[in-house]
Structure 1
Amino acid sequence: MNLFDNIPAELPEEVFEDIVDTPSVRIERIISKGHTTPTNEWYDQDEHEWVVVLKGEARIIFEDGCREVYLKEGDHLNILAHQRHQVSWTRPDQETIWLAVFYR
């Protein structure tokens, strides 16, 4: 499988697809296009998440409000378990393709 194949023409909702799922690691492809996390919701995961933007652009904001990270193609970020965060912006005119690795 190619990470850039099978991109839906319409993206009314973000796409989350598991590529690998084992007891110790999960790798997920995410496709966004103008999607954000709802303002009153936060990702708060039991595992660490390493994420890379393969195509497009995005911003991630952390609950403490002190840090918002801009990611462009090739940029990556490690998010520790229970570090509450939101996707605050993705490009509305182009798909943003992420690869997220969840690990313990």
Structure 2
Amino acid sequence: MIGIIDYGAGNLHSVLKAIKQLGYETKLITKASDHTDEITKLILPGVGNAKVAMDVLDRSGLSDYLKGRVSDGIPLLGICLGMQLLLEKSEEGNVDCLG
């Protein structure tokens, strides 16, 4: 199953539809407690501003969740803003990202 991180950023439903069209089961993750052991991959989509997105991820606890899952060996794909958030830092808002 593929977990798709839902933190209120733009292209979430397009990604969800595309992954389902490919035949994979998906689960939306809005908080760490949404995680199940069935999730073997994660996708972090997004459209918007890096600072705003990181503020939401930090406040919701999803930043720590993502870092923990990656440490556990679960692959994480960032799409658009989601890929930018995988970096150490963004000049867009001068914000620390997920690293």
Structure-1-length-normalised TM-score: 0.29
Q: Which has the higher helix share?
A: 2
Larger Cα Rg: Structure 1 or Structure 2?
1
Which structure exhibits the higher relative contact order, with contacts defined as CA atoms closer than 8 Å and separated by 6 or more residues?
Answer: 1
**Higher normalized strand content (fraction of residues):** 1
Q: Give the TM-score normalised by the residue count of structure 2.
A: 0.30
